[in-house]
Structure 1
Amino acid sequence: MEVARLAGVSPSTVSRILNGTAKVSDDKRLAVLAAIASTNFAPNPMAQGLKKGRSMTIGIVVQDISSPFFDETLRGVDDGLAGTGFASVIVSGHWNEEEETDRIRLLLARKVDGIILLSGRLSDAAVLRFSTQRPIVSTGRDLHTRNALGFKLDNEHGAMLAMRHLIELGHRRIAFVTGPRHNNDADERLAGYKRALHEADIALDPKLIVEGDFHEAGGLLAISHLFESQQQFTAIFAANDLSAYGVRLCLYRKGIRVPDDISLIGFDDLPGSSYTTPPLTTIRQPLYDMGRIATHALLRLINGETADSAIPPLELVVRETTRRVR
């Protein structure tokens, strides 16, 4: 090894100094560091990982690789891994419990050092069982164990922020496009919709609640069905931004002006929401920050350290699709 020759030490001494395990004199340490600088030597992360019994890879289970929702979180994960020597292996669970289970087993068989689980249908109990084999961090869960950590946002509170905004603008007949059934985020946002109405002493009208699926087509169809039922409303709260995009298209096709005729609010603050026509009022989720912070937490768990699950709160972003009711 060139560094060892220039420093006048053995290759094993260089290796131990790089790993922080060597007890050597200051002169030897300085000689090795000088030799490293003169040769532009860079340690091989994979080789160092193998010596520690690591693969230097983490697995990421995403539910829909085509969704801009997960794109933002993955961007945070990617930046969180920058400069760490770790690489990622991305697989998709397709919102299917069996597929998620198979993908996690696949990642474990490939000897990943830890797993990031982005939402999904697995039970918390199943996640905790897998965490006995490798550290796991997961979004959308409330987990706090030595080897498993959850990052959960207050979806009910976020929905209440959206509803309070509309109610403060004078809206009383507010339609709600839900998310898919048996989805925790969707259920919590529906609970926030109902709670906000109750707190404002506004009677709940079940006919104004229409089922969506967190996709654009689902939002379009949901509002189409609502118009067919001839319900009267002055505002629409879509359970996520993608649904709001579909709602907006339906309103456009019917010649309904937003926000002059009907106000519209979403949930997520996807990058495209700033560029809709008009720009969408929504609830901002810290998607990028959540990916970056979750990654840092996983790396701490891999190193046997403790980590916390503090993430920025949800916030209302007022743009141009909401206005005071006439």
Structure 2
Amino acid sequence: MKERDHPATLVDVARAAGVSPSTVSRIMNGTARVADAKRQAVLAAIERMHFAPNQMARSLKKGCTMTVGIVVQDISSPFFDETLRGVDDALLGTGYTSVVVSGHWNADEEADRIRLLLARKVDGIILLTGRMSDDTVLQFARERPIVATGRQLRSPGAVGFKVDNEHGAFIATRHLIDAGHRRIAFITGPAASSDANERLAGYRRALRSAGIDADHELIVEGDFHEHSGQRAIEHLLAHGIAFSAVFAANDLSAYGARLALYRHGVRVPEDVSLVGFDDLPGSMYTAPPLTTVRQPLYDLGRAATKALLSLLGRARPDDVVPPVELVVRETTRCVN
């Protein structure tokens, strides 16, 4: 018998089994009422010819592609690694695959990436934080279900999950205040980030609760990246601004701050206490291990995925996102 020079098609299987292509299709879909001998002939032909149906074509015919689009902001960030791990685990066994794209913290680029995913006929979209307005997200949700983190949404086609950034920053700052610190520097996140602004608000509220006036010189602009934390400490030291503790708006900024303090011979925590926000996997392995506010990043990814599957009619949104909590390690100490 001549070896085939192309993959077997539905028509090839039908011809080999002596049935119509529609019969093969209905047998594969489990909807055909045929004699057992005919069914066995089709199944034998499928196995003999190594027939693999075009899953994409079948999915499109059914009106779904079993694909979920995920928009992250920085695919190199460990922050998104943890959340994506939760997404991946929640998709296991569901038959869905994911397509990941990056918005690079730019609202226009995020919108372009969502349009790209829609053009690829994804069944739904998970938007991990970002800069787009809620109104824009809701407009896209009219075309496909969307679950977004970092914002509160509730509509027929959209769900949002948001952690309490303000409370997390409050408990972090109170931890330093209760340890005796009064000159607490704060390294902010980007001004356009709602998460960053909420953490600044929590820092300010904690100071007010302790009767401490906020000193604008102690609030230094950052951008959630390591270099901005390093630059913030360089600024404070170069201008002779006294501080006994630093609260960085995220762990990456805290890493940069730790490096700058080390290079200037400032010991942590003996000379300066340091607190971050996120509890990235690497934060327990810094030297010394970082005190930080734990965001439930993995749980957030799972909950967002379960919520999207629920919108798609595939699951119940049974995952609850735990609250933020302070994880005290070895970068903070009491002062006299």
Paired AA for residue 273 in structure 2 = S
| 2:143 aligned with 1:133 | yes
Partner of 1:320: 330
Matches of 1:12 and 1:98 in 2, distance apart? 43
Gaps of 5+ in 2: 1-12, 18-22
For residue 254 of structure 2, the aligned residue among 240, 244, 256 is 244
Q: CA deviation at 1:79?
A: 1.0
The answer to whether structure 1 residue 271 and structure 2 residue 271 are counterparts is no
Q: Is residue 2:297 matched to residue 1:287?
A: yes
Q: TM-score, normalised by structure 1?
A: 0.86
Contact 1:151 1:309 in 2 (8 A): no
Q: Structure 1 residue 98 and structure 2 residue 108: aligned?
A: yes
Distance 1:288 1:143, change over 3 A: same
How far residue 43 of structure 1 moved from its aligned partner, in angstroms, is: 10
**In the alignment, which of 187, 194, 203 is matched to residue 204 of structure 2?**
194
Report Cα offsets for 1:179-216 as digits up to 9, x if no partner: 01111000000000000000111111111100111000
- Say which of 240, 262, 266 aligns to 2:272: 262
Residue 114 of structure 1: aligned partner: 124
Alpha-carbon distance in 1 for matches of 2:69, 2:109? 15
1:218–1:246: 8 Å Cα contact kept in structure 2?
yes
Q: CA deviation at 1:80?
A: 1.2
Superposition deviation, residue 309 in structure 1: 7.9
Secondary structure at the aligned position of 1:115 is classed as strand
Question: Aligned to 1:168, which of 166, 178, 182?
Answer: 178
Kept after mapping to 2: 8 A contact 1:214/1:239:
yes
Whole-angstrom CA distance in 1 between matches of 2:189 and 2:92? 34
Give the 4+ runs in structure 1 shifted more than 3 A. 10-17, 42-51, 304-310
Within-5 A mapping of 1:1-326: 49-303=59-313, 307=317, 310-326=320-336
In structure 2, C-alpha distance between the alignment counterparts of 1:168 and 1:15, rounded to whole Å:
67
Q: Distance in 2 between matches of 1:219 and 1:105?
A: 34
Q: Is the 8 A contact 2:102 2:113 kept in 1?
A: yes
Aligned 8 A contact 1:135 1:147 in 2: yes
From the superposition, tell whether residues 312 and 45 of structure 1 become closer, same or farther in structure 2 (CA, over 3 Å).
farther
Conserved 8 A contact 2:187-2:246: yes
Once residues 48 and 128 of structure 1 are traced to their aligned partners in structure 2, the CA distance between those partners, rounded to angstroms, is 29
Quote the offset at 1:133 in angstroms: 0.1
Question: What is the CA deviation profile of residues 298-318 of structure 1, one whole-angstrom value per residue up to 9, with x for unaligned ones?
Answer: 111112877478411101101
Q: Is the 8 A contact 1:269 1:285 kept in 2?
A: yes
Question: Aligned pair in 2 of structure 1 residues 183, 308: CA closer, same or farther (>3 Å)?
Answer: farther
Q: Which has the larger radius of gyration?
A: 2
**2: distance between equivalents of 1:97 and 1:202?**
37
- CA gap of 1:128–1:54, structure 2 versus 1, over 3 A, is same
Q: Is the 8 A contact 2:306 2:315 kept in 1?
A: no
Describe the SS at the equivalent of 2:155: coil
CA offsets, 1:208-266, max 9 Å, x none? 10011100000000111011121111110000000000000000001111001110000
What's the secondary structure of 2:147's corresponding residue? strand
2:309 and 2:316 in contact (8 A); partners too: no
Offset at residue 292 of structure 1 (A): 1.3
Q: 2:293 aligns to what SS in structure 1?
A: strand
Deviation track 1:274-304 (CA, whole Å, cap 9, x = no partner) reads 1000000000001111111111111111128
SS in 2 for 1:219: helix
Query: Identity rate of aligned residues, in percent?
Result: 66
Separation in 2, partners of 1:146, 1:306: 15
The aligned counterpart of 2:10 is none
Residues in 2 aligned to 1:185 and 1:169: alpha-carbon distance in whole angstroms: 26
CA shift digits 1:73-121 (9 cap, x unpaired): 1111111111111111111111111111111101101100000101111
Q: Secondary structure at the match of 1:133?
A: coil
C-alpha root-mean-square deviation of aligned residues, in Å? 2.6
Q: Which range moved further: 298-307 or 286-295?
A: 298-307
Unaligned runs of 5+ in 1: none
Change (3 A) 1:71 1:107: same
Give secondary structure in 1 for the equivalent of 2:154. Answer: coil
CA distance in 2, matches of 1:179, 1:140: 14
Please tell me whether the aligned partners of residues 224 and 249 of structure 2 are also in contact (alpha carbons under 8 angstroms): yes
Number of aligned residues: 306
Query: How far apart are residue 52 of structure 1 and its match?
Result: 2.7
SS at match of 1:60: strand
- Rounded to whole Å, the distance in 2 between the matches of 1:43 and 1:79 is 27
What CA distance in whole angstroms lies between the structure 2 residues aligned with 1:210 and 1:190? 11
CA distance in 2 between partners of 1:303 and 1:124 (Å): 23
